């Protein structure tokens, strides 16, 4: 059965968010859509005109997907993929794409996360490091807190000898409004354990992500 919110001539949905959006709680979607209608009216628009008739529902479903990190537990996700391993070498996953919404203006910010940890007899599936970035990015956020939450979740789940997280992002609340600086970017970091106490370890991590 086709989605009633999609026009007949619209391209087919192939993104992974399609099934998740369809499964969203219907009453929540309806409530959010009513609020979006009010926003459109206060902007001076007519939500009943042809081009906007389905917009409130589309926006509600989109926001439901973009904030579904509230329904997920990052520590449980990580602990479900922990394995014993006799290794102590640094593990780095770099250039993890992230998209989030600024909690101050609900405008997007987007960029890359670089995540590393120093194992202590336990490792985690590499994809889970990217998943934990998504769990926290899919909430209303500030970049500083997002960086710390990712590092803390990895530390709690693995108890490694150290965790390092660096995020580089561009914020539309700075690019589209306010100071309107289109070329600005923000870099935040959180270093725990060996990444904080050992300059050589920290430098090795930073060199990995620079390269």
Annotated catalytic residue, options 35, 97, 104, 182: 104
Annotated catalytic residue, options 37, 114, 149, 171: 171
Rounded to 5 degrees, φ, ψ at 134 are: -65, -40
104 is catalytic: yes
Greatest C-alpha distance within the chain: 64
Task: Specify whether the CB–CB gap between 109 and 102 falls below 8 A.
Answer: yes
103 is catalytic: yes
Annotated catalytic residue, options 37, 102, 149, 190: 102
Annotated catalytic residue, options 105, 155, 168, 204: 105
d(CA 209, CA 118): 16
d(CA 167, CA 190): 9
Annotated catalytic residue, options 45, 72, 75, 173: 173
Annotated catalytic residue, options 103, 144, 182, 203: 103
Annotated catalytic residue, options 114, 141, 143, 149: 143
15 is catalytic: no
Rounded to 5 degrees, φ, ψ at 14 are: -125, -5
143 is catalytic: yes
114 is catalytic: no
Strands 140-141 and 122-124, sheet pairing: unpaired
Which residues form the catalytic set? 102-105, 143, 171, 173
């Amino acid at each position: 059965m086709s989605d009633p919110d999609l026009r007949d001539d619209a391209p087919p949905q192939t993104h992974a968010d399609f099934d998740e959006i369809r499964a969203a709680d219907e009453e929540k979607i309806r409530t959010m859509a009513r609020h979006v209608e009010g926003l459109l009216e206060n902007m001076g628009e007519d939500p009943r005109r042809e081009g906007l008739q389905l917009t409130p529902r589309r926006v509600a479903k989109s926001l439901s997907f973009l904030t579904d990190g509230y329904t997920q537990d990052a520590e449980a996700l990580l602990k479900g993929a922990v394995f014993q391993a006799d290794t102590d070498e640094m593990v780095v996953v770099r250039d993890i794409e992230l998209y989030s919404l600024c909690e101050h203006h609900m405008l997007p910010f987007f960029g890359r996360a670089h995540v590393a940890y120093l194992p202590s007899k336990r490792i985690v599936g590499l994809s889970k490091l990217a998943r934990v970035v998504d769990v926290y990015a899919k909430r209303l956020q500030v970049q500083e807190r997002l960086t710390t939450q990712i590092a803390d979740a990895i530390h709690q789940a693995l108890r490694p000898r150290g965790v390092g997280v660096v995020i580089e992002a561009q914020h539309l609340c700075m690019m589209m409004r306010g100071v309107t600086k289109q070329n600005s970017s923000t870099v935040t970091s959180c270093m725990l354990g060996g990444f904080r106490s050992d300059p050589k370890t920290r430098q090795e991590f930073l060199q990995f992500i620079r390269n």
